[in-house]
């Protein structure tokens, strides 16, 4: 069975074809990662038509103001003094009965490039009904169906590295992971912050460092969730307590729910490490979803925290998550709860 392409691979192929002026009559862009949807739609809007052709032949429509008949009527118009007309429908998730677009897709105009941008929320059920699946199958037959999926947190550092590499900028694993920890997995947000960092780099510097991030984004290189989990893994009591104190004094930038999630994900990796039969570097990196640079960190943490202790940590995290939400806790603040939690984890 052929390996299914990732969103990143599918995006690269679509852009490659567009650069070669290989156009399809319909591009149905759907999914919960808006970054690639926007990138494809923007490329088409900026590059398919000449500037002189756009006034009469390019339309940007919005789903909240549309129904399917209006889209079909627009798509069936012929271009004026141009080989193509481009119609980009944004916010298509707001269009009711979009499956009725099937009427047009059975006989699309070759001179129309119709781009449907359907941005979904995670877990959205759109596209799962029989009617929607029938529409998607028709799109695949005559055009491009692109599903843009959120990347996992573990995939973000590699994405950051690749994004910068394409611009001639390098970044080491530690600062890439720091950016992931601070910015999450919203690619639009990450790309915006990376562009800001690139602008602030000196002309003779093509490398983003931890110090550069700290100076320009405001993320402390010593007091963050990445350093907290690393210090817990090393059972560095002094450093863990310093970070916990810092978090307690800065709760708005270090919410308890994100801290608990980071600790949980860290110990899940330690727990899984114990049960890997193949403990080669390549397999550890693949199975844990980490950069090979960090393998020794998890190996060392596994020597300190056996599987039973990991299970105890999971139980503690559930308890403190509930207490942070107010269950069996009338007045203890999140900072104090975190101090209690890290003490118990390390003892």
Nearest to 27 by CA among 112, 120, 135, 144: 144
φ and ψ at residue 127, rounded to 5 degrees = 90, 0
Q: pLDDT class for 203, splitting at 50, 70, 90?
A: confident
Report the candidate in 195, 24, 8 with the shortest Cα–Cα distance to residue 108: 24
Give me the domains of the chain, ranges plus CATH numbers: 7-148 (3.40.50.300), 153-217 (1.10.8.60), 225-346 (1.20.272.10)
Instruction: Provide the pLDDT confidence category of residue 4 given band limits of 50, 70 and 90.
Output: low
- The predicted model gives 33-39 an average pLDDT of 95
CA–CA dist 196, 216 (Å, integer): 8
What's residue 170's pLDDT? 94
Q: What number of other Cβ atoms are within 10 A of residue 177's Cβ? A: 23
Q: Which of 35-49, 90-104, 306-320, 323-337 has the lowest mean pLDDT?
A: 323-337
Q: Where are the alpha helices (DSSP H) in 106-236?
A: 130-142, 156-165, 173-183, 187-200, 210-217, 225-234
Average pLDDT over residues 37-61: 95
pLDDT at residue 129 in the model:
58
- 3-state SS of 285-307 is HHHHCCCHHHHHHHHHHHHHCCH
| pLDDT value at 328 more than 90 | no
**The pLDDT value given to residue 146:** 95
127 has a pLDDT exceeding 60? no
Stated pTM of the model: 0.76
pLDDT exceeds 60 at position 20 = yes
What are the pLDDT digits (tens) for 206-262? 899 888 888 887 677 778 888 999 999 999 999 999 999 999 988 888 889 989 999
Tell whether the model's pLDDT for residue 50 goes beyond 50: yes
Task: Give the number of other Cβ atoms within 10 Å of residue 275's Cβ.
Answer: 8
**What pLDDT, in 10s, does the model give residues 68-121?**
999 999 999 999 999 999 999 999 999 988 989 999 999 999 999 999 999 998
Inter-residue contact 72 to 99 (CB < 8 Å)? no
* Res 35 pLDDT > 90: yes
| Mean residue pLDDT across the chain | 90
Range from 129-133, 284-288, 306-310 carrying the lowest mean pLDDT:
129-133
Phi, psi of 103 (to 5 degrees): -55, -45
pLDDT of residue 1: 40
Query: What residues contact 82, with CB distance under 8 A and at least 6 apart?
Result: 49, 50, 53, 56, 57
**Separation CA 173–CA 201 (nearest Å):** 18
φ, ψ dihedrals at 288, nearest 5°: -90, -15
Express as a percent the part of the chain with pLDDT over 90: 66
Q: Taking 80 as the threshold, does the pLDDT of residue 126 lie above it?
A: no
Facing residues of 147 across strands?
Answer: 30
Q: Which residue has the higher pLDDT, 126 or 317?
A: 317
- Mean predicted confidence (pLDDT) in 177-187: 86
Q: Which pLDDT belongs to residue 308?
A: 96
pLDDT at 2: 44
């Amino acid at each position: 069975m052929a390996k299914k392409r990732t969103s990143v691979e599918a995006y690269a192929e679509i852009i490659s074809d567009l650069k070669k002026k290989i156009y399809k009559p319909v591009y149905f862009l759907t999914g919960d990662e808006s970054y690639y949807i926007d990138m494809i739609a923007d490329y088409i809007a900026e590059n398919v038509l000449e500037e002189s052709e756009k006034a009469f032949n390019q339309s940007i429509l919005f789903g909240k103001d549309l129904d399917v008949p209006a889209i079909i009527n627009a798509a069936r118009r012929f271009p004026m003094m141009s080989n193509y007309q481009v119609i980009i429908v944004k916010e298509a998730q707001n269009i009711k009965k979009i499956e009725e677009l099937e009427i047009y897709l059975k006989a699309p105009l070759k001179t129309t490039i119709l781009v449907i941008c359907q941005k979904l929320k995670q877990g959205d059920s759109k596209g799962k009904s029989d009617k929607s699946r029938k529409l998607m199958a028709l799109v695949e037959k005559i055009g491009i169906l692109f599903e843009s999926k959120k990347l996992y947190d573990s995939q973000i550092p590699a994405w950051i590295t690749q994004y910068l590499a394409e611009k001639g900028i390098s970044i080491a694993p530690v600062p890439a992971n720091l950016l992931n920890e601070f910015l999450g997995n919203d690619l639009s947000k990450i790309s915006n912050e990376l562009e800001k960092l690139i602008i602030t780099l000196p002309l003779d510097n093509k490398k983003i460092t931890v110090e550069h991030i700290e100076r320009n984004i405001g993320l402390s290189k010593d007091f963050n969730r990445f350093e907290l989990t690393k210090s817990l893994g090393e059972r560095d009591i002094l450093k863990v307590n310093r970070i916990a104190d810092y978090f307690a004094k800065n709760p708005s930038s270090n919410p308890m729910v994100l801290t608990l999630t980071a600790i949980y994900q860290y110990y899940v990796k330690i727990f899984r490490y114990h049960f890997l039969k193949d403990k080669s570097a390549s397999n550890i990196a693949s199975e844990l979803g980490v950069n090979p640079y960090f393998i020794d960190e998890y190996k060392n943490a596994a020597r300190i925290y056996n599987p039973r202790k990991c299970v105890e940590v999971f139980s503690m995290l559930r308890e403190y998550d509930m207490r942070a939400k107010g269950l069996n806790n009338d007045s203890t603040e999140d900072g104090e709860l975190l101090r209690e939690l890290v003490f118990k984890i390390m003892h």
